[in-house]
Structure 1
């Protein structure tokens, strides 16, 4: 018997030594609420495009890390002149675009000049066109950018999705077949269903763990829950059904990761359209808003109240939620003063994200309490981009603006809010030209106060990032300091 046990143990040891180990998975399926309208982040507004492409397919001279800090990317280092007007970038060597074309300084010059060109359709053109004076190629791996005035945000802005570097050979087709320099290359886009990426075997930087990543578009909350439970997707960085989070908290097969975003959730207002061009009407709407009710109902308890267009975790933030406290009686008084003693009718266009659809219902009830009858109009994402963002054909809408430090959008009178205020524009001009941190903080707070006092939009809450993931997936970002579903560090553990 002793001999038999010894032989059995030896046999098991031999089998263990030759049996193949189960390797960790190298593919992942990630659920996204919205499908991109296109895959070129330089010409398409909205976070959906950047979630697929940012730091995955495309890269910039700099990149933003998960802590919101600027890091080298295609530019491995840089120097800044004493007057803060000239930036000289040293580029990474041996970089190729996904089609095999070598990357060099000429591509940087082309990409930056494309952004600031008079006919540019870049979604963030104003961040660059008013700042950059010239781009000069020094040699194939050195490029010089001169500014019109010092800019405290310049290196950060170069790390945004709107400033990625593209190839002159392929930029015209990036909307449907994106070609960049990133760690993943585009494989296919099945409209209405998914986008598939695969590892770039010729990537110049740190190798990634994943061989394949599939973004699956699931906007319906119930379908999102079912897809996770069935294993059809491996995770969401922004879960479509926060009301169902407790189901996953109680299941050891999943990890619930709650972080912060740069997403200011707004009842965005068309300031150029009557009666919203009247400050008293906007103030009345501000008094009608019960933020905590919205956080509980639309955010299912996730979110932080805001009183202006600024993220609460930013060191420049000030709490302005009491500028117009919840006071329906005061809202009615202001409407009567503005000539609407019996209220008026309006519309709220709602994109297909849960916080907007649910938030719209709650806001309609809150506005009704002061006499504003709001018709809810559900629109798909592409239609929202066309009707609201591009054509400014709306009264009110509910949306989260997820780009970091984007308070400067209010300085553009042609932006879809239609807010044209020389006082605010002067504040932002000073902010953009200031590098001293204490002065920047003061100016940023002046800007926040001006927006709050003017009730430009209804400021609701800062959107939380509620992720639900297979518990064996690691390396995703807890917080979202910039728009993107960055894949480079994601991996599976046994």
Structure 2
């Protein structure tokens, strides 16, 4: 887990905040389960009109903010109006199609869209959908006033964040009186902290170190599914990556099965949609391991001796880069690895598109829309994909929407717009007394309420 830079989830993006704050400190009308299914949260129920334009939510009874004030539909309206009208608020772009947000009474919220949006309800399960007190003057960077089962007790910056159970919680009370998130700077130090009894749960265990925990006999290790897409991005508008033959050759040169084995966890992934998201299809037929064909394609493109640079955030370690250097060398491609701080990656690659190849874990669920955005850092521009994506979002039937996404995803993979090295798995080590700790999707949120610990 990465430590947040501040706690203001309204104005700060990133999985570090969503992982610990959503459902624990702050809540939305709806939330999502570990397998990405949508369920009601602050709302006791919701209805969508037959034309897909009007969403009506009924609030649960007895909800209070942590300062003791009662939540009403007016708080939802003011929260969502801020998302809709303020570009600085997280989720603003996801509310672009919202026409009106009203409260017919204290327990009812009505949201009307200009046109159907298959992803809108899912967007409400993220930061865009969180509800805050109207006119609250809490400094959200260092404090909070949510409705969740926990309150913020203290934050020792650079070390730990402590939550305490909120005893006046409107729903089922949390199983733990206190939870401490310890931020440990590297994987080895994390394993050592687990072995010496400093932590009860270690998340994001390095697969190459997991045997130390298993050999100790003190831990249960769970392997969880994620929507983490380990993406080898190609700059589609910069030579030589603007030539599909070169992109295809690079994909064919990678032994994906061996790469997953080297990483130590995860599954192969040959397209932009992971198994937990709508539109998934096994696309392994598109780019099977074939170094001979890779060489032939490079020869055809006139670039048999190719020098490329991979820009990679330094915290990802060396395994992926080492495998790519080795695999590419076998087809005559020399790969230079440029390790950079994440802030540099955001500035150079993400913002200014100044790169040839890049590697990053795209962890957000249902983010296929990036492939329908020619201005995104991939530089991928296919009008057919954009059309299919737009149709999928306007489609009222979820199954029909998923079919459209599936078609679009196959085109993206067949265009060799990138390579998807693997779908990440997350390893968690638990001491015997801990039960109810979530297993899947904890890279994007850790729902703490159902966790219990017995003395051991």
Normalising by structure 1, we get a TM-score of 0.84
Aligned-CA RMSD value: 2.6
Aligned to 1:19: none
Task: Give the CA deviation at 1:323.
Answer: 0.8
Counterpart CA distance in 1 for 2:5 and 2:245 is 36
Task: Give the CA deviation at 1:386.
Answer: 4.4
Counterpart CA distance in 2 for 1:171 and 1:443 is 44
Task: Give the CA deviation at 1:169.
Answer: 3.7
Task: Judge conservation of contact 1:351–1:381 (CA < 8 Å) in 2.
Answer: yes
Aligned to 2:123: 157
Task: Give the CA deviation at 1:154.
Answer: 3.0
Q: CA distance change for structure 1 residues 118 and 255 in 2, over 3 Å: closer, same or farther?
A: same
Confirm or deny that 1:483 pairs with 2:444: yes
Task: Give the CA deviation at 1:426.
Answer: 0.7
Task: Judge conservation of contact 2:81–2:101 (CA < 8 Å) in 1.
Answer: yes
**1:207 partner SS:** coil
Task: Give the CA deviation at 1:486.
Answer: 1.3
Aligned to 1:244: 209
Counterpart CA distance in 1 for 2:245 and 2:139 is 47
Counterpart CA distance in 2 for 1:415 and 1:46 is 17
Counterpart CA distance in 2 for 1:226 and 1:121 is 39
Task: Give the CA deviation at 1:306.
Answer: 0.9
Q: 1:118-267 maps to which residues of 2 (within 5 A)?
A: 119-120=87-88, 122=90, 124-129=91-96, 131-170=97-136, 173-239=139-205, 241-267=206-232
Q: CA distance change for structure 1 residues 277 and 288 in 2, over 3 Å: closer, same or farther?
A: same
**1:307 partner SS:** coil
| 1:249-297 residue CA offsets vs partner (Å, 9 max, x unmatched) | 3444211111211112111233344433332332222122211121111
236, 243, 246: which one aligns with 1:271? 236
Task: Give the CA deviation at 1:136.
Answer: 1.5
294, 310, 322: which one aligns with 1:331? 294
Task: Judge conservation of contact 1:256–1:466 (CA < 8 Å) in 2.
Answer: yes
75-84 vs 162-171, which moves further:
162-171
101-110 vs 386-395, which moves further:
386-395
Aligned to 2:250: 285
Q: CA distance change for structure 1 residues 172 and 418 in 2, over 3 Å: closer, same or farther?
A: farther
Confirm or deny that 1:447 pairs with 2:408: yes
Counterpart CA distance in 2 for 1:246 and 1:149 is 52
Q: 1:295-444 maps to which residues of 2 (within 5 A)?
A: 295-298=260-263, 300=264, 302-313=265-276, 316-354=279-317, 357-444=318-405
Task: Judge conservation of contact 2:86–2:92 (CA < 8 Å) in 1.
Answer: no
Task: Give the CA deviation at 1:195.
Answer: 2.0
| 1:450-472 residue CA offsets vs partner (Å, 9 max, x unmatched) | 11012122111111121111111
Confirm or deny that 1:55 pairs with 2:23: yes
Counterpart CA distance in 2 for 1:180 and 1:449 is 41
| 1:306-352 residue CA offsets vs partner (Å, 9 max, x unmatched) | 11012235574221122122223333333344443321232322241
Q: CA distance change for structure 1 residues 284 and 81 in 2, over 3 Å: closer, same or farther?
A: same
Task: Judge conservation of contact 1:98–1:185 (CA < 8 Å) in 2.
Answer: yes
Higher Rg: 1
Task: Judge conservation of contact 1:77–1:89 (CA < 8 Å) in 2.
Answer: yes
**1:94 partner SS:** coil
Task: Judge conservation of contact 2:74–2:134 (CA < 8 Å) in 1.
Answer: no
Task: Judge conservation of contact 1:160–1:482 (CA < 8 Å) in 2.
Answer: no
| 1:30-62 residue CA offsets vs partner (Å, 9 max, x unmatched) | xx2x22344344444432221121211111110
371-380 vs 428-437, which moves further:
371-380
Aligned to 1:90: 58
Q: CA distance change for structure 1 residues 82 and 238 in 2, over 3 Å: closer, same or farther?
A: same
Confirm or deny that 1:117 pairs with 2:117: no
Counterpart CA distance in 1 for 2:210 and 2:54 is 49
Task: Give the CA deviation at 1:228.
Answer: 0.4
Task: Give the CA deviation at 1:223.
Answer: 0.9
Q: CA distance change for structure 1 residues 267 and 155 in 2, over 3 Å: closer, same or farther?
A: same
Task: Judge conservation of contact 2:214–2:221 (CA < 8 Å) in 1.
Answer: yes
Task: Give the CA deviation at 1:145.
Answer: 0.4
Q: CA distance change for structure 1 residues 105 and 490 in 2, over 3 Å: closer, same or farther?
A: same
Task: Give the CA deviation at 1:172.
Answer: 8.3
**1:305 partner SS:** coil
Q: CA distance change for structure 1 residues 120 and 269 in 2, over 3 Å: closer, same or farther?
A: farther
Task: Give the CA deviation at 1:393.
Answer: 4.1
**1:149 partner SS:** coil
Runs of at least 5 residues in structure 2 that lack an aligned partner in the other structure: none
**1:263 partner SS:** strand
Counterpart CA distance in 2 for 1:390 and 1:322 is 33
Task: Judge conservation of contact 1:108–1:143 (CA < 8 Å) in 2.
Answer: yes
